[in-house]
Structure 1
Amino acid sequence: MDKAFVDRRKVFHTLLSIEEALSKLEQLGLAKPIGIEEVELENAFGRVLAEDIYSPIDYPPFDRSEVDGYATSFKSTEGADELHPKRLKVVGKVSIGEVPELVVEGNSAVVIDTGAVIPKGADGVVMEEYTERIAQNEVIVYRSITPGENISFAGSDVALGELVLKKGTRLTYREIGILAALGISSVKVFKKPRIVIVSIGNELQKPGTALALGKIYDTNGYAVSALLKQYGFDARYYGILPDNEEVVYNEITALLQSYDVIVTSGGTSAGEEDVVYRVFERLGTVLVHGLKVKPGKPTVIAVSREGKILFGLPGFPFSALSVAILLLSRVLERLEGFETKRRLVWALSTFKVRKDIGKTWFTPVALSSIGGKVFAIPLQTSSGSVSTLLKADGIAILHEDKDYIDEGEEIEVVSLDGELKEATVIGSHDTLLPMLLTKLGIIDKVSLGFVGSYRGLQLMKKGYIDVSPIHLLDPVTGEYNVPLIESDSELRSKAVLIRGYRRRLVLAFRKGNPKNIKGFEDLLRHDIRFVNRNRGSGTRIYIDKILEDVAKKMGQSFLEIVKRVNGYWYEVSTHTGVAAAIAQGRADAGVCTEHAAILYNLDYIPLTWEYYDFLINIQSMNKSAIRKFIDGLRDLLTRSTINSFKGYEASSDTGSKLCC
C-alpha cells in the first residue's frame, strides 16, 4: 500500500430513524423557537404567535342590525301577515356609524341600515322586503318578527376576554382579519430562523450556462429553497461550492454570522471526496450521521459552536427532497414554534416488495381513486431522478419494522398535492399525450405515469387505474391492441378500448449516418451499439419480432441473434431516452418515434405505423376528466393538433370505441 495515501473516508456512525433524529434534537434543546419579537399586524402574515390572544373587546361591540329595514318592538308586529298587515309610525332613521338618540316606543319604528346600532326600545328588525312605505312617517309591515330577529348582539361573535387564538398558531388572512376586527394592531411572534441553502459538488453548474460533459445543473439548491419558501420559511439559495474542504469550511463559517440554519446539499456520503461531515465536525458537533431510510441515508445533522443547526442533505434530488419534506421541514417548524399536520393518505398497495427490516423506504407513488378505494402505484425512479416528485402524488412510507409489503396491504402515503387527482393515466410513454391533456384543459386533474404497455395493462386488469395508453403488437395478426384485448375475457369485463392515434416508429441514428446503418441486420455488426426499449413496452415487442424475423432469415435462434446485438440489454424507458442516448453518443442506433428522432436532430429509416390507443376503466367512464378526454379525441381541432406533429396521424375513428 502507498504509505503516502491517507484514506479520508468516513464510515457512517449509528443510523437513526427520522423520529429518533428529531427526538435527539428536541432533547438537546435545538428544535425550539430561537426568540420572540413583536410585529405590526400588516407584517404578521405567515408568522407564528408566541402567546395566546384574548379578546380585548366584545364583537360586535354593540347590538347591530343584520339587515336593512325597520327597527321596532316585536309586540308591535304580532299577528302581521299578507292578509293582516300592521301600520307603524316611522319616527326617524339610524345610519351605520352613528349613535342613535331615538327611542322606539309603542307602535313606532325606525329606519335602520345594515350594521347600524339598534336604538333603545327596539328588540327586532323587520326586513325591508316585508314592508311598504306609504307615507313619510308611516310604514306597513306584512310579517311579524320574533325577539332578537335580525339583530347581532354585542359579544355574540366574540366575547370580551375570550381566547381567540392559541400560541403556536400560524397567521393567515383569517387570523389577521379577526385580530384587526378586535382592534389588535401588533402581536408577539416567534422569530423566523434565517435559512441558507448551499449546493456542494464539482459536477454542478448553474442553470443557464452551457452544460459541459460530465456536469449537471444544480437542482437541489433551487428546489430545496423553493420547497422551504412554499412552507413559509425565510430561505435563501446561496450558490454552488466545490468539493473542497477548506473552501466549504470558510464559506460556511462566514454564513454562520448571518444565518441561523445552514442547509447543504451533496458531499454527505462516506466517500473520499465528500467533505460535509468533516466540515461540520470542525464547526461544532455532529449529532446525526446517517438515517435509517432509503433513499436519504447519507444525511448529516450537526450543531455549530454558536448553537446553530447544520443540516447536510444527500446530493441526489429525490433523496434530498424526501429528507427535506419528511425531516428538515419538521425541524424548521419547531424553530418557528409550530407543527404542521401533514396530509396523510392511507392507500392500498398495488405492488409487492421485500425490503430491509430496520430501514424505512420512501417510494414515490401515483394515487388513484376508483370505486371508493385509493390505490398507491409506484413510479419507476432512482434517488438521482429530478422528475420523480413532479410526477408523484405522494411518498409512500414503508416503515422500518416491516420486511415485506404485500399487494392490497394498506400503506401510509404523505400527500404532496393536498388533494387527489381526478384520474390516473398510466401506461405506455408518448411525447404528444401530455400536450393533448394540456390542450384539453385536464392536465392538472390527471396523474400521468409512463411504465410501459404491459405494466399498464396489468394495472388496468386489477382495476387500479382509470386510463392505460397501450401499443401492443399481436405477432400473429400483425394488428395493434384489439386482438390482445379481445382474447382476454377478464380485461374485457373491466375496460373498453378507445381509438387513439397513429405514430411512426423509426430506426434512428446520428445525423449523416456515420455507421452506414441500413437496417436491423446491421445491428449484428460488432462496431454498432444498440439502445433498446424496456421490457414490457410495446416498442420492445416490435423490436423482438423484427429480430425474430432476422433470426429466421439467417437460420439462427432468437437467443443467438440477441447475443450478437451489442446493447440489447441496454434499456431505456422512453422514446426520447432512446433518441438522447444516440444523440449523446452512448449508442449508435435505436428504435423510437419519428417525433423523438426529429426532436434530437437524428436521421432515421421509417419502420412502421403503430396505433397508440387508450384502455379506459368501465368504472371511470362517468368521471368528468375522462369524458372530456374521450370527447376531446373526437374533436376535429384535436385531430388537427395531432396531425400537426410530424410522425403522428389521427384516424377517422379517433375517439371511438373499438371494443369490447
Structure 2
Amino acid sequence: MLEALSLSDALNLLELNFKDFIIKSETVNINESLGRYIYSDVQSDQSIPNFNRSTVDGYAVISSDSFGASDSYPCRLKLIGSIKMGAPPDISLSSGETVYIPTGGELPNNSDSVVMVEYTDNYKDGYIYLNKPSSPGNNVILKGEDCKQGDVVLKKGDKISVKTIGILAGLGISEIEVYKKITVGIISTGDEIADITKNLNNSQVRDINSYALFNELLNFGITPIQLGIVKDNVEDINRIVNYCLSKYDVILLSGGSSKGIKDETINVLNRIPGAKILFHGLLIKPGKPTISAKIGNIPFFGLPGQPLAAYFVYKRLVEPFLKYLYNDVSNQFTIKARLTTNYPSNNGREEAVIVKLNSENNEYIALPTFYKSGLISSLSKSDGFFIIPRESEGVMKDSIVDVVLF
C-alpha cells in the first residue's frame, strides 16, 4: 500500500514523472493573448523610450542654470522656441536658454531637466523666470530607462496581463508566441451527486466541484471540459476515464478517492494498462484523500468529494503542478496579518487555515474561520488562508502569519 506523502514530496514526484510533458506553442495577436503563457523569452530590439522625454508640461533647461532659483530670486532664461510633439527637436540649448516642452516631448540637445510650468513665470518679454531649481534628470524619462535594447523584458512562462500587453505594444510587437491551452477533463463521481438543475431528495447534494474546478481552470488560462456526473461503480468510472484518455491532456476526478469500500477510483486505475499510481493520500488538511497517477503521459488526479477539500487540493497541488508544466515560476501573493486567537494543530498534517481579514491600527488582523470540509460557505466568508507546518502544534495568538489571498 502506498504511503501518504507530504505536499512538497507529492509535487516533486509529479514533476519527476512529467518532466517530459510537452506543451506546443502557437502565435496569437496580443489582443487575444490575455491570460496566456509566454513560450519563450521576449527580448527588446530597441530602447524604450528611444529619446529623452519630458514627463510634464514645462521648460527644458540646463539644470546648472537653475541652481539657486527661488520665488524671491527667480532665474531668468531666454525663451528661444518650443518643442513639437512627434518630431525630433531642431534646437540645441546654450547656457542661459530654455524652450517650452509639452508632456512626452523630446528634450533638445544639451538640456538635462524640465521645470514644470507651475514653477515659472512668463511676462511675455522673451524670457522665462524660474522660481525653483531643477536637478539633472528632473521630470525626464531618459532614453532606455524603461528598457534597453537587448533587455529580456518578458520571460518564458510569464502569464500575460494587461501590463504585459502594454509592454508588447510599446515594443511594436503585435503577435506573440504562447503555449497552447491544454485541455482538462473534469469528472464528478458519487451516487449522492445530482446535477445543479435537478430537485434534490433528502440524501442528495448538488454537483459543486465540477463547476468550481471548471472556473478555477478557466481563470488559470487553460481549457476545461465538464463531463458530467458518474455513479460510484467501477464500470462507469472506467468507461469515462478511458474516454478522457483519448481526448484530454489532464484528468481531474472528484469523489471516489478515499479508502472506503464504495470509493472505486483506485480499482479503476488498477484496471487500466500502464497506469502508474504515484501516491494515495496527502499529509495535508483539508485534502488527505487524494490520489494521483500517470497514465501513459497523462496526469490523473483524484480529488476529495468534499467541496472545500477539493478546492484546497486544486489550489495547493493541481495548480502548482500546472504552473510547472507552463514554466510559470511566479509566487502566490501573500500579506502579513496578526492572528486574533490561538489555533491548535496537532494532527501531523500540514493544515490550511481559512481566515477573514480586517484592518486595525495600520495592520491586518486574521480571524480564523472554523470550518468543516463539507461546508460550501466557508470560502465565501473568508479572504485567504495561512499554512501551519506538519511539525507545528499550532499558532499562538498575536503571531504574524503569511496569508495567501483567494
Residue 125 of structure 1 corresponds to 114
Q: Would the aligned equivalents of 1:77 and 1:141 in 2 still touch at CA under 8 Å? A: no
After superposition, residues 558-577 of structure 1 pair within 5 angstroms as none
Residue type of the partner of 2:126?
Answer: E
Distance 1:84 1:322, change over 3 A: closer
Residue 139 of structure 1 corresponds to 127
After TM superposition, give the deviation of residue 211 of structure 1 in Å: 1.4
After superposition, residues 372-383 of structure 1 pair within 5 angstroms as 377=368, 379-381=370-372, 383=373
After TM superposition, give the deviation of residue 333 of structure 1 in Å: 1.5
Distance 1:354 1:411, change over 3 A: farther
Residue 342 of structure 2 corresponds to 350
Distance 1:373 1:183, change over 3 A: closer
Alignment of 1:67 onto 2:67: no
**CA distance in structure 1 between the partners assigned to 2:400 and 2:140 by the alignment:** 51
Alignment of 1:298 onto 2:289: yes
Rg (Cα) greater in structure: 1
**CA distance in structure 1 between the partners assigned to 2:95 and 2:397 by the alignment:** 74
Alignment of 1:316 onto 2:314: no
Residue type of the partner of 1:275?
Answer: E
Alignment of 1:218 onto 2:207: yes
Alignment of 1:288 onto 2:279: yes
**CA distance in structure 2 between the partners assigned to 1:214 and 1:105 by the alignment:** 88
Q: SS at 1:49's partner residue? A: coil
Q: SS at 2:81's partner residue? A: strand
Normalised TM-score (structure 1):
0.53
After TM superposition, give the deviation of residue 314 of structure 1 in Å: 1.4
After TM superposition, give the deviation of residue 281 of structure 1 in Å: 3.4
After superposition, residues 441-520 of structure 1 pair within 5 angstroms as none
The count of residues paired between Structure 1 and Structure 2 equals 400
After superposition, residues 382-461 of structure 1 pair within 5 angstroms as 383-395=373-385, 397-401=387-391, 404-405=393-394, 408=397, 415-417=404-406
After TM superposition, give the deviation of residue 78 of structure 1 in Å: 6.5
Q: SS at 2:316's partner residue? A: helix
After superposition, residues 103-182 of structure 1 pair within 5 angstroms as 103-105=92-94, 107-135=96-124, 138-143=126-131, 145-182=134-171
**CA distance in structure 2 between the partners assigned to 1:79 and 1:367 by the alignment:** 51
Alignment of 1:56 onto 2:48: no
Residue type of the partner of 1:199?
Answer: S
- Cα shift readout 1:227-270 (whole Å, capped 9, x = no counterpart): 33344444343321222433333333333333211111112233
Residue type of the partner of 1:242?
Answer: K
Higher helix fraction (1 or 2): 1
Sequence identity percentage: 33
- Cα shift readout 1:69-97 (whole Å, capped 9, x = no counterpart): 33344566566554555655544332211
Residue 251 of structure 2 corresponds to 262
Q: Would the aligned equivalents of 1:196 and 1:261 in 2 still touch at CA under 8 Å? A: yes
- Cα shift readout 1:554-594 (whole Å, capped 9, x = no counterpart): xxxxxxxxxxxxxxxxxxxxxxxxxxxxxxxxxxxxxxxxx
Q: SS at 1:389's partner residue? A: coil
User: Greater relative contact order: 1 or 2 (C-alpha under 8 angstroms, separation 6 or more)?
Assistant: 2
Distance 1:411 1:321, change over 3 A: farther
**CA distance in structure 1 between the partners assigned to 2:220 and 2:226 by the alignment:** 15
- Cα shift readout 1:27-46 (whole Å, capped 9, x = no counterpart): 22358663344433223322
Q: SS at 1:141's partner residue? A: strand
Q: Would the aligned equivalents of 1:289 and 1:301 in 2 still touch at CA under 8 Å? A: yes
Residue type of the partner of 2:290?
Answer: T
Residue type of the partner of 1:16?
Answer: L
**CA distance in structure 1 between the partners assigned to 2:330 and 2:403 by the alignment:** 13
- Cα shift readout 1:467-491 (whole Å, capped 9, x = no counterpart): xxxxxxxxxxxxxxxxxxxxxxxxx
After TM superposition, give the deviation of residue 22 of structure 1 in Å: 1.2
Q: SS at 1:319's partner residue? A: helix
- Cα shift readout 1:384-430 (whole Å, capped 9, x = no counterpart): 2222333345456454445x54865969675344xxxxxxxxxxxxx
**CA distance in structure 1 between the partners assigned to 2:326 and 2:302 by the alignment:** 20
Q: SS at 2:15's partner residue? A: helix
Q: Would the aligned equivalents of 1:351 and 1:406 in 2 still touch at CA under 8 Å? A: yes
RMSD over equivalenced CA pairs, Å:
3.5
Residue 332 of structure 1 corresponds to 322
Q: SS at 1:288's partner residue? A: strand
Residue type of the partner of 2:84?
Answer: S
After superposition, residues 228-267 of structure 1 pair within 5 angstroms as 228-267=217-256
After TM superposition, give the deviation of residue 182 of structure 1 in Å: 2.6
Q: SS at 2:165's partner residue? A: helix
Between 370-379 and 219-228, the greater mean CA deviation after superposition: 370-379
Residue type of the partner of 1:301?
Answer: S
Residue type of the partner of 1:292?
Answer: L
After TM superposition, give the deviation of residue 325 of structure 1 in Å: 2.0
Distance 1:209 1:53, change over 3 A: same
Residue 203 of structure 1 corresponds to 192
**CA distance in structure 2 between the partners assigned to 1:363 and 1:120 by the alignment:** 60
Normalised TM-score (structure 2):
0.83
Q: SS at 1:175's partner residue? A: helix
**CA distance in structure 2 between the partners assigned to 1:106 and 1:349 by the alignment:** 67
Q: Would the aligned equivalents of 2:355 and 2:366 in 1 still touch at CA under 8 Å? A: no
- Cα shift readout 1:38-58 (whole Å, capped 9, x = no counterpart): 433223322233333332211
Distance 1:243 1:155, change over 3 A: same
Distance 1:113 1:261, change over 3 A: same
Alignment of 1:47 onto 2:39: no
Runs (5+) with no aligned partner, structure 1: 1-11, 418-660
Residue 275 of structure 1 corresponds to 264
**CA distance in structure 2 between the partners assigned to 1:140 and 1:411 by the alignment:** 56
**CA distance in structure 2 between the partners assigned to 1:373 and 1:385 by the alignment:** 26
- Cα shift readout 1:584-610 (whole Å, capped 9, x = no counterpart): xxxxxxxxxxxxxxxxxxxxxxxxxxx
Q: Would the aligned equivalents of 1:364 and 1:378 in 2 still touch at CA under 8 Å? A: yes
Residue 439 of structure 1 corresponds to none
**CA distance in structure 1 between the partners assigned to 2:234 and 2:364 by the alignment:** 51
Distance 1:370 1:254, change over 3 A: same
Q: SS at 2:157's partner residue? A: coil
